[in-house]
A = this chain, B = another copy of it.
């Protein structure tokens, strides 16, 4: 006999539902920007959702957070100053703080409430938000990025989906400002949605089009995130000159001795080898 049938469902499309059995709802808060929930689940451990969209699960967040940080850090292990936009759960910060050479991380998160909830309920990701190199700015990332010039070696746009609070982060103006804010060897990494379901692939194409118009080098890499729609997820890699593959400094990165669960330097190269249909979608978006 089942003791409780309580299910969180995300509609991946109007015709596809992904449902997770919930043991218990740990918190539900209506913030100024979005509704924030944390669930306890058997399959995925704690699960964070924003406005009903799954953001982070304890079971597979390592994939997202390793891939969004170690890929640029292995291309340029000398990165010192990082700007992270979004990322209220802290997972990206956790991975970045593992690099001793990183001197300062500016984290710009619009929703103070998300950080508060994650500190309380998701220590697995939020554990390094108190690191002294981390400076949290509770502001709109869109505005924040207008000011700095030639300042950051790395910008990570760890945003929610391109509707709701994260909407502006997928525009041309925004990516232009990112370019300006980056140093000569600067890298921009962004959450890039997925190539599979209609709405996701349109967001992917839109983002790619805008980044490509702002950066000389712009590509995407892929990974498996089972709890995201289709499980086929992309991040964008853009730069003023560094190539994500040719400039990979595998030896140096491996010399750091960082233990990872998903990322390695072979997989780094493999992740940039995209299926034909994804390459075609990206090309199409640039027309």
Is there a chain B Cβ closer than 8 Å to A116's Cβ?
no
| Main SS at interface, chain A | mixed
Is there a chain B Cβ closer than 8 Å to A213's Cβ?
no
A3/B35 contact (C-beta < 8 A), A15-B21, A28-B25 known:
yes
With a cutoff of 8 Å between Cβ atoms, the chain B residues found around residue A269 in the complex are 269-270, 273
With a cutoff of 8 Å between Cβ atoms, the chain B residues found around residue A262 in the complex are 275-277
Give A contacts to B, CB under 8 Å.
1-11, 13-25, 28, 35, 37, 41-43, 49, 51-52, 60, 63, 163, 196-197, 222, 224, 226, 230-232, 260-264, 266-277
With a cutoff of 8 Å between Cβ atoms, the chain B residues found around residue A9 in the complex are 5-7
Q: Is the CB of B226 within 8 A of A196?
A: yes
With a cutoff of 8 Å between Cβ atoms, the chain B residues found around residue A13 in the complex are 43
For the complex, give the distance between the alpha carbons of A205 and B121 in Å.
34
Within the complex, which residue of B4, B51, B196, B226 is in contact with A52, where a contact is CB–CB below 8 Å?
A: B4
Taking the nearest CB of chain B, how far is it from the CB of A114, in angstroms? 15
Q: Is the CB of A260 within 8 A of B276?
A: yes
For the complex, give the distance between the alpha carbons of A262 and B1 in Å.
33
A19/B20 contact (C-beta < 8 A), A231-B232, A269-B273, A277-B262 known:
no
Q: Is the CB of A42 within 8 A of B25?
A: no
Q: Is the CB of B16 within 8 A of A19?
A: yes
Within the complex, which residue of B20, B35, B270, B275 is in contact with A273, where a contact is CB–CB below 8 Å?
A: B270
For the complex, give the distance between the alpha carbons of A10 and B13 in Å.
16
For the complex, give the distance between the alpha carbons of A195 and B45 in Å.
17
Q: Is the CB of A6 within 8 A of B6?
A: yes
For the complex, give the distance between the alpha carbons of A66 and B196 in Å.
17
Within the complex, which residue of B3, B16, B260, B276 is in contact with A21, where a contact is CB–CB below 8 Å?
A: B16
With a cutoff of 8 Å between Cβ atoms, the chain B residues found around residue A273 in the complex are 264, 266-271
Q: Is the CB of B224 within 8 A of A3?
A: no
Q: Is the CB of B49 within 8 A of A25?
A: no
With a cutoff of 8 Å between Cβ atoms, the chain B residues found around residue A8 in the complex are 5-6
For the complex, give the distance between the alpha carbons of A231 and B5 in Å.
20
22 A-B residue pairings within 8 Å (CB atoms): A1-B163, A2-B52, A3-B51, A5-B10, A5-B52, A6-B8, A7-B9, A7-B17, A13-B43, A14-B42, A15-B20, A15-B43, A16-B19, A17-B18, A224-B231, A224-B275, A231-B231, A231-B232, A260-B276, A264-B273, A267-B273, A270-B273
